[in-house]
Amino acid sequence: MARKKRSFRYIGLIYVLPWILGLLIFQLYPFIASFYYSLTDYNMVNAPKFIGLDNYKRIFMNDPGFTQALKVTSIYVVLAVPVKLAFALFVAVVLSAKLRAINLFRTIYYLPSILGGSVAISVLWRFLFMKEGVVNSLLANVGIPSIDWLGNPDIALYTLGLLSVWQFGSSMVLFLAGIQQIPSDLYEAGSIDGASKTRMFFKITVPLLTPIVLFNLVMQMVNAFQEFTGAFVITNGGPMKSTYLYALKLYEEAFTFFKMGYASALSWVLFAIIMVVTGIIFKTSNRWVYYEDGGKTK
Partner 1 sequence: MTHASSNKWLSYALLILLGFVMIYPLLWLFVSSFKTNQDIFGSSKLFADTYVWNSYSLGWAGTGQYGFQHFFVNTLKLVLPTVVLTIVSSVIVAYGFSRFTFPLRTFLFSIMMATLMLPDATVMIPRYILFNKLGWLDTYLPFIVPSAFATSAFFIYMLIQFFRGLPRELDESATIDGCNSFMVLIRVLLPLCKPALFSVGIFQFIWTWNDFFNSIIYISSVKKFTVSLGLRLSLDASSAVSWNQVLAMSVVSVVPCIVLFFLAQKYFVEGISTTGLKG
Could you tell me the smallest distance in angstroms from the CB atom of residue 83 to partner 1?
Answer: 15
Specify the amino acid at residue 147. I
Residue 154 or 279: which CB sits closer to partner 1?
Answer: 279
- What gap in Å lies between CA 228 and CA 13, rounded to an integer? 37
Residue 90 or 290: which CB sits closer to partner 1?
Answer: 90
- What gap in Å lies between CA 136 and CA 153, rounded to an integer? 17
- What gap in Å lies between CA 109 and CA 88, rounded to an integer? 10
Could you tell me the smallest distance in angstroms from the CB atom of residue 138 to partner 1?
Answer: 5
Residue/partner pairs of 218-223 with CB below 8 Å, 24 or more apart: 218/278, 218/281, 218/282, 220/81, 220/84, 220/85, 220/171, 221/77, 221/81, 221/274, 221/277, 221/278, 221/281, 222/274, 222/278
Task: Report which DSSP code applies to 50.
Answer: E
Could you tell me the smallest distance in angstroms from the CB atom of residue 241 to partner 1?
Answer: 19
Residue 22 or 154: which CB sits closer to partner 1?
Answer: 22
Query: Do 259 and 249 meet the contact criterion of CB atoms below 8 Å apart?
Result: no
Could you tell me the smallest distance in angstroms from the CB atom of residue 4 to partner 1?
Answer: 12
Residue 152 or 229: which CB sits closer to partner 1?
Answer: 229
CA angle at 278 for the pair 277 and 284, rounded to the nearest 5°: 90
Residue 154 or 183: which CB sits closer to partner 1?
Answer: 183
Could you tell me the smallest distance in angstroms from the CB atom of residue 135 to partner 1?
Answer: 9
